[in-house]
Structure 1
């Protein structure tokens, strides 16, 4: 149970805080009370004007009211207890002066002033902040009152009444009011202080808890000077769970207490020390990274001297320095990332934060190049270097290089490449983001030197980095720092976890404000889907390399043309990756792909290769398509022609009055005929269809829609085209038949009977591998 003890406030600091807190509470109350007193004084002035006899000029008395009002207006602006007390004393003396001016010339002045002499000290008693204010203010009030109001001779009875009211009633009552109210305020303050301390303190160690630490740190960072340096230390006791499991929680609690004592003894009074939770502690200190690392090393050594039943305690430390505009949580996250590296690299050690990308650009340019005249910049990362390789992207229509994708590589001291399994090996979660940010700085620095000035730079970026708060501004600053413009950079969002679609959509808008273009990588794999594209609205979509080799089921026809058409209709340019053969390049050109990338056009390399050979390959692909389109069309038409002729003869027979079964008899015997049919002017089937050799009732798995008898088909292209060209047998592009579930081609012809127009047609099975398809829509 919390104590509300009324013991004296012996701590001067605590007493000062109490008086400042009281000042906050008293200002509104005093303002209202004293303003009411001004109104009461004006009423007294009005009452005096109603009494006959010589009176002090009204202007003098109203001047007192004006001074009282000005003192009331000054109360809300008081910032110290001394000023507040001085205003109270001045107010009481001016009030006495005003009373003296009002009662001057009246026949019985005591009738006017005696009630005020009693009531004013009693009403003012709770308003005095401190006993000193009360004693001084009350003494001056009574001294001024007796000097100005009780100068005239009085009878003995009158003196007895005056002293009885003032000494026996007024003074004791005001003292009781003041000290009672003062005691109440003090107990309330002590209770609040105790509650605040309990809410901010970890009960086991006596340190700040996480909430109090974060709140205090936020206040410190808000007022930090531009040249002031602040760092955070995050530490975690190694193998603490085993201590609890093997020796009991009492031993674990004692270890936590001893670590807390080490932290308290090893830090200064200006440092904030907290138990964040469990066996984790944090320190915020006014020092740079070097000073924080030195302190962390001393604390590590001190903790290592603490005994535990099976040896000695150890702790792992992560240290990070605050950066301008950074919140306390971001600072702690970076310190926590360093702590995780300390844990994963063996425990009982101190690790510093990783450098941010902007800092990577600040190393000495002369030192950035290795001996032997290496063309690219390299940055040290763990026990190897980070460098860039660039792979070209070509505009197929323009037949030229338009951009380069920057790919991260690791190099040993001797120049040999680090295997990707090592470079991108799983690490603590924040490491991946640090490597991602570092790669951007390395790529941008290298691109400025190596890439043509009019080329795009494709930068891979993880979703978690893409949506990180403030990274759009930071990356734009890095881009401009190396001499590029954001308009030259295309951010390629990788296929990875780490951000919701909503977050990425909002982040994309921020990057576009700077001028960046947005691309989505590996569409068609993993998390990629059409909803993701439509929400993010990238400028470019990079199709996964497998999509260029994907074919429809059964016919082995490529699906790339339809997919590219869909993305173009959504307003997105298309890049195909993984172009490795001439056939794949030809398909990309034929599918209206905008940009292509792959080993056939150029491998990733530290140097930019001449583009002439790739230009020739693309030009050759266009020639092959131009030559093959006519041949493809001729093959398709030759395959369809027998059915055109047979359908035309069947239509003539129908116009001549021959029955449907007889008119379609010859057509229904042809090899690829699935069924022959007649549709009325609204696209509904007339009578039953006549089935041909390609009909396969067992293969039709779509049983609920296998019967076309009551369906309406005037929305199908084969119906519309027949109506547009009446009397001409037209062949459709292959489509997936709803009745048979197979790719089919329809040959249709519009004829005019005596009473109505009809469309006669035949559906052909086009599912066999090797059948020619039209060259395009």
Structure 2
């Protein structure tokens, strides 16, 4: 569990981790140092041969060298600190034995052995991993060396000098060296551990961050036993942005901290918990889908008990179980898809992943798609131009319908040239030269790589698009490459400007050759509706930021209305920059025709298999289908009391009750702005009856704040009531001219005093979290 990363380890656990880390660091140093000692020992044997006197046979004196060499070769295979220490002790004792064999027969052995007794412990001191190893190894070395000295008669002054060197110099120096290096290694390890913990921990909540969570999850999945079940829970706090906006980030931070503690308290020690970003959390637990759903429901109830200034926190949950062979990111994607269904179904609920359909194919790492020759490259400066293709999908057909060709530069070794270098302006060259060269490269590569029924989307600069005679040249290049122009959609880079008149005339010329026209990046740069209506493109590619744009106050997306406007103008719509499942769902719900983005496929030299994207789009349709009915039910549940109140008010008015008295009950309902009566021409009869949501401080709208000055029979809420007399009709949310707020009107057509009238109540619908009816 992520919380364990923030708990203090016991001293023994910390010491064990430190020693194992030291073992990794010391192996190379010890191997080199002891190997050098073997060489020094051989030099010692060679020096002994230069001294006269009786000596042991050379073979005996050399016998210790291969033993020392074998101990050196064993160091890389030492898997524990204990084995490493035993190798060190054995090495020192074998070395002492080798010295003793070689010193037999020398006249003054003290001159030979004393430097070794001082130098060897001092040089070995930093190599001992632990103080225990150091004390045991040094004690055994000195004991063996002392036995060697005691066997040699020494004068009194020689004994004094010997023990002075050992006791006063050798032992203290080796002790200082060992504990000094030990302390240095330990402090370095503690600092390294602290930095690693900080890098893996979210500072606000103390949970794992996303990187650490994914890394730990990958390790768990890689070592997963065949029958072990793992599930992921994705959590998103509902309406968290409103908490920050209304009460400040300190309140939001405290809420995140409380949620983190709930997750730590309600999950087990073997579970991983992470704050993966913003108000999103993830849990990886060792259980199947049923157990994970039970845990998620327990977490949902615990979070719902956390108070916020305007009520209680709630959260939405998505649960998915790991399938054999899939990565952690795929598992989290499926849990995220379930989370989105929970959010679209009304929030504060738990949704499980969709069951895998029988016979459905899952693409693995070994699958490939596409055949044909190798991608062609075109020499340009000191590198090559080549093509990468990004797919576009028809959302209604749920299939690939085209590919945008994107220019890439490759060096001789295949490395990509940075875009800043590839598209850098060259003062001495034609601005459109690279653009025209890219068209020839893309057309040849598309013929080899693209399916026969797919469009090729080709970017073109306005200057190139309007160049005299280029329409015919491009048509000839396309046919020579094997593509008919009607399979090519030219994307005019809208953000690069250009004369509208020139582009309009050029578009007609390209259409004569069969090309389709698209305007790219609408919503950025020089984009405006006038340019669209004069160029009359077949498709409009909306800039990716438009899919994330929302209306002020209600945070409702503006994409549906923009798509509706472009459809009415006779243009198909492509949304770029679809990067999340939630954005894909919005694109489907907004009636977007085609979609493109990293979620559906990244630009690549080879085409990726589309089946997984087909399933993703199909799941988006399912989310909308499931959420639409629930959203409608939520909307109706909010509006129903006002319908009932309006019908009672109508009965009272028909019985001759005065207006204020008839609307008295309805005017007390929480969201009521005002109750009103309109005549047959849509003008207000009498005054309106204000409700709790009435506001008289809308100074900026003062000239139009009086509804009695206007006709309202052109408004849908009036027309719909007239079409269904006797039925209380609720309108879609609209921006009220009188109050400047998003409102809903509930209206009813009745016969009052022999005249058709429409009575109604206007409701304040500006609060965040209120259900809106399904988008058209």
Q: Residue 260 of structure 1 aligns with which residue? A: none
Determine which structure has greater relative contact order: mean sequence separation of CA pairs < 8 Å that are 6+ residues apart, divided by chain length: 2
Under a length normalisation based on structure 2, what TM-score does the superposition of the two structures give? Answer: 0.51
User: How far does residue 374 in structure 1 lie from its aligned partner after superposition?
Assistant: 8.5
User: How far does residue 710 in structure 1 lie from its aligned partner after superposition?
Assistant: 1.8
Q: Residue 415 of structure 1 aligns with which residue? A: 414
Q: Deviations over 1:117-148 (max 9, x none)?
A: xxxxxxxxxxxxxxxxxxxxxxxxxxxxxxxx
Distance 1:498 1:633 in 2: 44
User: How far does residue 700 in structure 1 lie from its aligned partner after superposition?
Assistant: 5.2
Q: Deviations over 1:348-371 (max 9, x none)?
A: xxxxxxxxxxxxxxxxxxxxxxxx
Q: Residue 517 of structure 2 aligns with which residue? A: 518
Distance 1:520 1:449 in 2: 26
User: How far does residue 699 in structure 1 lie from its aligned partner after superposition?
Assistant: 3.4
Distance 1:691 1:525 in 2: 43
Instruction: Say whether the 8 Å CA contact 2:540–2:573 is kept in structure 1.
Output: yes
User: How far does residue 499 in structure 1 lie from its aligned partner after superposition?
Assistant: 2.3
Q: Residue 579 of structure 1 aligns with which residue? A: 578
User: How far does residue 384 in structure 1 lie from its aligned partner after superposition?
Assistant: 1.3
Instruction: Say whether the 8 Å CA contact 2:495–2:524 is kept in structure 1.
Output: no
Q: Secondary structure at the match of 1:702?
A: helix
User: How far does residue 430 in structure 1 lie from its aligned partner after superposition?
Assistant: 5.3
Rate the CA distance shift 1:730–1:496 in 2: closer, same or farther, 3 A: closer
Distance 1:619 1:756 in 2: 52
Q: Residue 485 of structure 2 aligns with which residue? A: 486
Q: Residue 599 of structure 2 aligns with which residue? A: 600
Question: What are the ranges of 5 or more consecutive residues in structure 2 without an aligned counterpart?
Answer: 1-371
Distance 2:428 2:667 in 1: 66
Rate the CA distance shift 1:766–1:604 in 2: closer, same or farther, 3 A: same
Rate the CA distance shift 1:529–1:447 in 2: closer, same or farther, 3 A: same
Instruction: Say whether the 8 Å CA contact 2:495–2:527 is kept in structure 1.
Output: no
Q: Residue 363 of structure 1 aligns with which residue? A: none
User: How far does residue 431 in structure 1 lie from its aligned partner after superposition?
Assistant: 3.4
Distance 1:478 1:425 in 2: 26
User: How far does residue 541 in structure 1 lie from its aligned partner after superposition?
Assistant: 0.5
Q: Secondary structure at the match of 2:409?
A: strand
Rate the CA distance shift 1:653–1:700 in 2: closer, same or farther, 3 A: farther
Q: Deviations over 1:409-445 (max 9, x none)?
A: 1111111111111111233285331111111011011
Under a length normalisation based on structure 1, what TM-score does the superposition of the two structures give? Answer: 0.51
Distance 2:600 2:517 in 1: 23
Distance 1:497 1:613 in 2: 35
Q: Residue 651 of structure 2 aligns with which residue? A: 652
Q: Residue 611 of structure 1 aligns with which residue? A: 610
Q: Residue 669 of structure 2 aligns with which residue? A: 670
Q: Residue 91 of structure 1 aligns with which residue? A: none
Distance 1:716 1:498 in 2: 39
Instruction: Say whether the 8 Å CA contact 2:495–2:521 is kept in structure 1.
Output: no
User: How far does residue 690 in structure 1 lie from its aligned partner after superposition?
Assistant: 1.1
Q: Residue 755 of structure 2 aligns with which residue? A: 756
Query: How much is the aligned-residue C-alpha RMSD, in angstroms?
Result: 1.3
Q: Residue 686 of structure 2 aligns with which residue? A: 687
Q: Deviations over 1:506-551 (max 9, x none)?
A: 0000000000000000111111111111000000000110111111
Rate the CA distance shift 1:498–1:474 in 2: closer, same or farther, 3 A: farther
User: How far does residue 498 in structure 1 lie from its aligned partner after superposition?
Assistant: 5.2
Distance 2:415 2:687 in 1: 74
Instruction: Say whether the 8 Å CA contact 1:701–1:741 is kept in structure 2.
Output: no
Distance 2:593 2:572 in 1: 6
Question: What are the ranges of 5 or more consecutive residues in structure 1 without an aligned counterpart?
Answer: 1-372
Q: Secondary structure at the match of 2:389?
A: strand
Q: Residue 237 of structure 1 aligns with which residue? A: none
Q: Deviations over 1:245-292 (max 9, x none)?
A: xxxxxxxxxxxxxxxxxxxxxxxxxxxxxxxxxxxxxxxxxxxxxxxx
Q: Residue 730 of structure 1 aligns with which residue? A: 729
Q: 1:741 aligned to 2:740?
A: yes
Q: Secondary structure at the match of 2:414?
A: coil
Q: Deviations over 1:560-619 (max 9, x none)?
A: 111111111111110001111111111111111110101111000000111000000011
Q: Deviations over 1:213-268 (max 9, x none)?
A: xxxxxxxxxxxxxxxxxxxxxxxxxxxxxxxxxxxxxxxxxxxxxxxxxxxxxxxx
Length, aligned pairs only: 405
Q: Secondary structure at the match of 1:622?
A: helix
